[in-house]
Chain A
Amino acid sequence: MTADAAQVLRARRPRARSRAARVRVALLGVLGVLAVAAAWELYKALGPDDGVVVAGTRVLPRTTDLAMPHTWEMVARLLEPTTSQAGAAPLWLTVAQAALVSLAIAGVGWVVGTLVGVGLGLLMQVWRVAEHGLLPWIVLSQTVPLIAFAPVVRSWGARIEIAGWQWPPWLSVAVIASYLAFFPVAIGTLKGLQSPQHTHLELMHSYGASRWQTLRSVRLPAAVPYLLPALRLGAASAVIGTVVAEVSTGYLDGIGRQLVAFAGQASGDPAKAWAPIFGAIALGLVAAGLVGLAGVALRTYRRGEAS
C-alpha cells in the first residue's frame, strides 16, 4: 500500500486555492479599485476642462467638478444626509435601501429565469425535436429590445387581478429581469447536458440504464461546470434587467429610478449622482457573489474540470 500512497501523492490534486493565493486576489482587487481612482484623479488634474473633442465628437469627458467630481468628494457625499431636510437619512443608507429592493426583485427574476432556463434546456436535451424548434426562438427572444416590451408587460400586469389579488408593479420588473436571465441558463443547461463523454454514455447504455437514470447520474452532474457560469451570467442579466425595467416601467423604489432621479439633481449636487452608480455596482457584485456560493456548494461536480 505504500507504493499506492506514493502514487496518490504524485497524482493530480484538485486545484484548491491556498490562503496566500486568496489574500493575493483580495489585494489585487483593492489595487484595481485604487488604480481606477488614481487614473480618474490624474485625468481630472491634467485633462483640459472641456474634454477632448475630435471632429465634433467629445471622446474624453469634461474635467470640471460638475462632470467629474473628486473621488473623495463622492465618498464623503455618501456619508452626508440624502437631502437638506431635517432628519434625512445618510445618502449611503438611502442608496443601500434602494439597492436591496432591486436585489430582491432581481433575485425573484433570477429564480424564475433559472427555472425556465433549466426547464427549456432539459426539454431540448430530452426531446431533440424541441431543440430544433425552440432554439431559434430562444435566440430571437433576446433581440427584442427591453425598452420595447417593458411597458407592455406593465400594462398587461396592471390588468391582472385574480380573486382580489392585484399584480404588483414589482412583479412586472421581475418578469422582465427573468426574461433576460433565462437565456444564458437555457443555453448553458443544454450545452452542459450534451457535454458528457461518449464513454460515460456508452457505459450507461451497457448498464441498460433508462433515460432518466442517465440524466440523473451522468448528464446533470456533467452539466454543473457549464451551469455555474450560466447562472452567474443569468444573475448579471437579472440585475441589468431589473435596473432597466425599473426605469422603463416607472417603478419608484429601486436603484434604477434613483439613478435617474439623482442624475437630475447633478447640476446642484454632482457627487450625489454617483452614489446610486456605486450602489448598482455593489448590487451586481453581491448578486455574483451569492451565485458563487452555489459554486462552492457544488464543487464536487467541478472535478471534471481539473482532469
Chain B
Amino acid sequence: MSETINGDGVAVAANGVGKTFDTRSGEVQALTGVDLRVAAGEFVSLIGPSGCGKSTLMRLLADLDSPSEGTIEVFGKTPAQARRDQDYGIAFQQAGLLPWRTVAANIGLPLELHGTDRAARAARVAELAELVGLSDFADRYPDQLSGGMQQRVAIARSLAEQPRLLLMDEPFGALDEMTRERMQAELSRIVGESGAAVVFVTHSIPEAVFLSDRVVVMSPRPGRITGVVDIGIGRDVPRDESLRETTAFFAKVTEVREALHGTPVTASGREGR
C-alpha cells in the first residue's frame, strides 16, 4: 500500500471493520468491510454523504463503541488500550465544553484528571491558549465565547496531552464559512507543529483537500470506503489563502468531487469492498 507518507509508524489500522446496530426497526448496517491505514503524522479526511458511517468509524477508533466485525489497532494496540494510554485526543462537532468551567479550566481538564500538578498544568494551559489564540480569554466561560472560539478551546483541550493521534468529527461543522477557513489554516499550523496524525471528518470537499494528505471517500447503505484520493500537496507548502487559488488545489477538489459522485477516479482509487 502507498498510504505511508511520512514516518514508519502506523497510527490507525482498520481491517475489514463492520458495524451493525440493532434498532427497533431492525438491523442497521452502518459500516461494512472498512480497511483503513493512517500513518503516524498523516492527515486523513473522511468525506461522504450523511449516514455513510463516518461518525460511527470515529467512535470505533475512539473506543466509544466496538466493531461488530474486523479489527482496529491504534498504534498497534486495541482502541481500549490506546484510550487508557491517552494516545489520542478527540474534538467533535459539539465543542462539548463544560459550561461551569472557564476556558483555562476546560483546556486543563484532561491534565487535571490525569494528575498533572498545578504549576505544570497552568504552564501547559497558557501554552495551549496561546497556540489557539485565546490567551486573553482564559478566564471567560464558554457561554461568553463565539462558536469558533469554543471550537478552538475544544481543539486546545484535545491537544493538551500531546496525543499522537487526533480524532476530529466535523469540528468546524457549526461555523460560518469565514471562521471556518481561518480555523482550517490554524488547525493546519497547529497539527504541523505537534506532528500528530489526524483523522478528520468533514462534509466539505475544499476543507478536506486543504487540510489532508489523503481524502477517503465513503458511501452509504451500507457505509463503506469507495475511493481514496492522494492530495500530494506537501507538508512544506503553507496552508494559507493562496493555496486555495492554485490549479493543483482545484484539480484535487475536482478529483474528490468525482470520487464522491461515483464517476471513475483516475488516481489512487481503491474499492473498499
Contact = CB atoms under 8 A, between A and B. Distances in A.
B143 A303 contact: yes
B94 A199 contact: yes
A217 B149 contact: no
B141 A200 contact: no
A207 B100 contact: no
Contacts of A300: 100, 141
A303 B97 CA distance: 12
A289 interface: no
Contacts of B144: 8, 11-14
Contacts of A282: none
Interface residues of A, number: 31
A8 B137 CA distance: 9
Interface string A157-179: 00000000000000000000000
B64 A4 contact: no
B98 A11 contact: no
Interface in B84-103: 84, 86, 88, 90, 92, 94, 96, 98-100
A6 B86 CA distance: 36
Interface residues of B, number: 32
Contacts of A208: 83-84, 86
Given A11-B146, A209-B113, A217-B113, A199 B100 contact: no
Given A1-B133, A14-B143, A200 B149 contact: no
B96 A199 contact: yes
Contact of B100 (A12, A197, A209, A304): A304
B130 to A, nearest CB: 12
B146 A221 contact: no
B64 A206 contact: yes
Contact of A303 (B63, B64, B141): B141
A7 B141 contact: no
B196 to A, nearest CB: 15
B156 interface: no
A7 B98 CA distance: 20
Contacts of A303: 99-100, 141-143
A7 B96 contact: no
Contact of B136 (A1, A13, A304): A1
Q: Which of B88, B143, B145 has the most CB of A within 10 A?
A: B143
A203 interface: yes
A65 interface: no
A13 B166 CA distance: 31
B228 to A, nearest CB: 27
Interface in B126-152: 133-134, 136-137, 140-146, 148-149
A4 B64 CA distance: 34
A79 to B, nearest CB: 48
Contact of A7 (B109, B113, B146): B146
Nearest to A306: B143
B143 A206 contact: no
Contacts of A304: 99-100
Contact of B96 (A1, A14, A200): A200
Contact of B141 (A1, A14, A199): A14
Contact of B143 (A209, A218, A307): A307
22 contacts: A4-B133, A4-B146, A4-B149, A8-B145, A8-B149, A10-B146, A11-B143, A11-B149, A12-B144, A14-B141, A14-B143, A199-B94, A200-B96, A203-B96, A205-B83, A206-B63, A208-B83, A208-B86, A209-B113, A306-B99, A307-B99, A307-B142
Interface of A: 1, 4, 7-8, 10-14, 197, 199-200, 202-209, 213, 217-218, 221, 224, 300-301, 303-304, 306-307
Given A202-B64, A207-B113, A307-B143, 15 more contacts: A4-B136, A4-B146, A10-B146, A11-B143, A11-B145, A14-B141, A14-B143, A14-B144, A199-B96, A200-B96, A204-B113, A206-B88, A206-B90, A207-B109, A303-B99
